[in-house]
Amino acid sequence: MLLVIQTIESVSAKVLFLPTYSPELNPIEMLWSKLKAFLRKIKPRTRADLDTAVSCFIASLQQKDLLGYFLETEARAVFI
């Protein structure tokens, strides 16, 4: 870990550590939240229905949505 920090700092970059538990700063947590909301709306009853629903959700994702999760976490990180 120290070597990584030294390498980053050697190029005049600053290492920023996240708080111990910070799901609001993790883009994957936003994606999970959207998936859970989608599944609550669909209410799959069987494993096959669940598989189909998750596949539909994944197919509906667009690059701009995924980029938005990263931009949102970046904006939130500024205030920490």
- Domains in the chain: boundaries: 19-77
Give me 23's structure tokens.
């799901």
Q: Give the three-class secondary structure for 28.
A: helix
Does pTM top 0.95 for this prediction? Answer: no
- In one-letter notation, the amino acid at residue 13 is A
Residues in CB range of 73: below 8 A, 6 or more apart:
24, 25, 26, 27, 30
8-48 per-position pLDDT tens digit: 999 999 988 867 777 788 889 999 999 999 999 999 999 99
Q: How many CA atoms lie within 13 A of 5 on its CB side?
A: 5
Residues 41-69 pLDDT 10s: 999 999 999 999 999 999 999 999 999 98
- Look at residue 80 and tell me whether its pLDDT is greater than 60: no
Going 47 to 48 to 53 to 54, the CA torsion angle's sign is positive
